[in-house]
Amino acid sequence: MRVLSGIQPTGRFHWGNYFGAIRQYIDLQDAGEAYYFVANLHALTTVRDPELLRQLTLDAAIDLVALGLDPNRAVLFRQSDVPEVSELCWLLMTGTPMGLLERCHAYKDKKAKGLAADAGLFTYPVLMAADILSYDADVVPVGEDQVQHIEVCRDIAGSFNHHFGETFVLPKAKVLESAARVPGTDGEKMSKSYNNTLELFEPPATLRKKIMRITTDSRPMEQPKEPQTDHLFQLYSLLATDPEREDMAALYRRGGFGYGEVKKALADVAERFFAEPRARRAELEAHPERVSEILADGASRARKKAGQVLARAKKACGTGA
C-alpha cells in the first residue's frame, strides 16, 4: 500500500492539525510506502509574503519530524521541489471539465460569500490530483471536508484513463479518525480562521495563559456536569492517560469543582504530552541544515517516482516518446 498526503504551511500547527491529521500520518508510515509533503504551492493561494512562506515551510518540516515523522520510514519533501507534479497538473488540466471544478466546495463557498476567487483556488483540485497521482498513491488520509477532492481526483484520473488507456492508479480516501472536530478555545472547531487555536509548540507559559482563558459555561460549581459534551473535557481527553480521563469524568459527574481546576490539569497534561516533541524540535531548530538534508533527500526520492508516472502519462497522451 502506498500512502500520500500533504499539509499546507499557512501558519504554525495547532492541536487540531495534530489530532486531526499528523498523528495518523505518523501511524501510517508503517502501513507501506508513505509520501508526505509540505504543500507550499497550494499555500501560495493565501500566503503572498515570500520570506514568510519560506519560514512557514521550514517550520512545518521541523514540526513534522519533531512530532515523529521518520525520514527513514517515510518520504518527506517540499511540494515545489518536485516539478514533475506541476507538469502533470497541466496534462490533467487539459481534460478537466470546468463544471467539475465549479462544483468544488472551496470555490463555491468563496463565490457564495462574494469574495474574489483566483485561478489558483479554482484549479486547486487539479494540482491536488497531480500530487496524488504522481506517486501511484493507493490511499490518501483526509478529513471529511477533503473527501470531495479525492472524488474529483478519481474523476480526473478516470477520464484520462478512458481517453488514453490505463495510466493512473485510482486512489481511495481514508477518512481520519478525530479529524472531524477538535474544539478550540471558544468551543467551536479549532481553526486558524477562527483565531481559536492552541499551537503545538508555543511557549508553555503562553499556552497555559491561553488555556486558562478557554470559554466555559456559567453553571455553578456544585452542579454535576456531563463530561462528553464539554469541550474542555474533550481537550483534556486527547492528552490524558486512561486513568486520568476516568478520574476527570468522575469529577464532572460528581460536581463540586471549578473549571479553573480542569484548566490547570489540562495545561499540565499538555506540557507533559508535548515535552519530548518540544525537545526534539529545539534540537532541530538549532540545526536547520539537518532538516534541509531530509527535504532534499525526500525530494530526490519523490522525483524518481513522480518522473516514472509523468513519463507514463506523457507517452499515453502523445507528448512524450
Judged against a pLDDT cut of 70, whether residue 304 lies above it is answered with yes
Which triple of cell numbers denotes residue 151? 472524488
Calpha distance 129→90 (Å, rounded): 11
β-pairing, 172-175 vs 33-38, is: unpaired
Range 124-140 burial, b when 16+ CB lie within 10 A, else e: bbbbbbbbbbbbbbbbb
Query: What does the pLDDT average to over 111-130?
Result: 89
Calpha distance 236→240 (Å, rounded): 6
Calpha distance 172→191 (Å, rounded): 26
- Report phi then psi at 112, rounded to 5: -65, -30
Judged against a pLDDT cut of 60, whether residue 76 lies above it is answered with yes
Task: Give pLDDT, residue 115.
Answer: 74
Judged against a pLDDT cut of 90, whether residue 144 lies above it is answered with no
pLDDT tens-digit series, residues 16-64: 999 989 999 999 998 889 999 999 999 999 999 999 999 999 999 999 9
Query: What does the pLDDT average to over 201-221?
Result: 94
What's the Cα-to-Cα distance from 271 to each of 21, 170, 203, 276, rounded to whole Å? 20, 42, 10, 10
Name the average pLDDT for the chain: 94
What structural domains and CATH numbers belong to the chain?
2-181+288-317 (3.40.50.620), 202-273 (1.10.240.10)
Task: Give pLDDT, residue 175.
Answer: 86
Task: Give pLDDT, residue 111.
Answer: 80
Global pTM value = 0.94
Q: Which of 186, 140, 201, 141 is nearest to 15 (CA)?
A: 201
pLDDT tens-digit series, residues 229-262: 999 999 999 999 999 999 999 999 999 999 999 9
Give the rounded distance of the alpha carbon of 2 from its chain centre: 18
Q: Which residues are known catalytic residues?
A: 110, 189, 192
**pLDDT band per the 50, 70, 90 thresholds, residue 177:** low
